Amino acid sequence: MTDAAIATSGLTKRFRSRSVVDGLDLHVPRGSVFGFLGPNGSGKTTTIRMLLGLISPSAGSIRVLGEAMPGRGATVLPRVGALVEGPAFAPYLSGTANLIRRDTADRYAPGATRRARVEAALDRVGLSHAAGKHVRAYSLGMKQRLGIAGALLTDRDLLVLDEPTNGLDPQGTREVRTLVRSLADEGTTVFVSSHLLAEIEQVCTHAAIMRAGRLVAQGSLDDLRRGSGPRVAVETPDASLAASVLARFGLTAETAAGGVEAALPADAAPAEQLAAALVGDGVRLRGFAVRASSLEERFVELTGEGFDVEQ
């Protein structure tokens, strides 16, 4: 598909008799920031390895940047930057020396511009001040940013980031978020694996959710949230009474912090009618709101699990 940076059809990976990835049909639009989510053991990391040609699929097909993988890997991979399962560096070399070493190993990288590109990559991830320090003195967050710099040494059409904010403080997380957005603005497709759903919601335009090796949902973030529908949140000390009032309108209330919440189907009574009924029955309202479903709620609904995702 010409509009897809990544497209898979029936992608399957079996280890012995067990399918770790089962019939995956993934579509990552070009120019998107795509979040890849799933609980532990969902097949997320195995999928990334197949996309990058690190392991071979048992069945199905992969196209990356319009080319078949792994057969066309020599053509595709120079256009792909990747940070998978954390960066690895020589601890007794500086940040600059590590990146020069990495760039020298890339036969497609032009040697004449090597030092300038290394300096630009370090500046882009906010590590210019630490360029001359030995990597053994780097914090985990600094190492993570150095790994991203390594993926950006040459221009990339696709960037694959596995847990890019792992170990970063809030400021570092904001910097990576800004970097990802700027890359997308420049036309780079960014494929982000993360267990931080709040981060995915802030930076991604599209997402896919895996469960037990199967794809359970994918699409734009707005489409994924809409699948769950809006919810009414009632903040009150009279939770039981509020739940009984909502039950009269066919709504099933669940206990929430400070009160109750309930899903609102399309044919639910208007919000103002619900609020009037609550007040009329003596429910002491501290707050009343109708809000769109969050990605976290959709994730839990689809997987039946919390949102810790494999590292």
What confidence tens digit (pLDDT) does each residue in 50-59 have? Answer: 999 999 999 9
pLDDT value at residue 248 = 94
Q: What is the pTM of this model?
A: 0.76
pLDDT for 129 equals 94
Q: What is the pLDDT of residues 257-309, one digit of tens each?
A: 789 988 888 788 999 999 999 999 999 999 999 877 666 666 666 666 554 43
So what's the pLDDT on residue 139? 86
pLDDT of residue 159: 94
What residues are paired with 134 via a beta bridge?
Answer: 94
3-state SS, 180-229, equals: HHHHHHCCCEEEEECCCHHHHHHHCCEEEEEECCEEEEEEEHHHHHHCCC
Neighbours of 116 (CB within 10 A): 9
pLDDT above 60 (res 27): yes
Q: In percent, how much of the chain has pLDDT > 90?
A: 53
- Across the range 214-241, mean pLDDT stands at 85
Token pair 């639910």 is found at 268
User: How high is the pLDDT of residue 302?
Assistant: 67
User: What's the pLDDT at 227?
Assistant: 61
Q: What is the mean pLDDT of the chain?
A: 87
Amino acid 180: pLDDT: 86
At 294 the pLDDT is 65
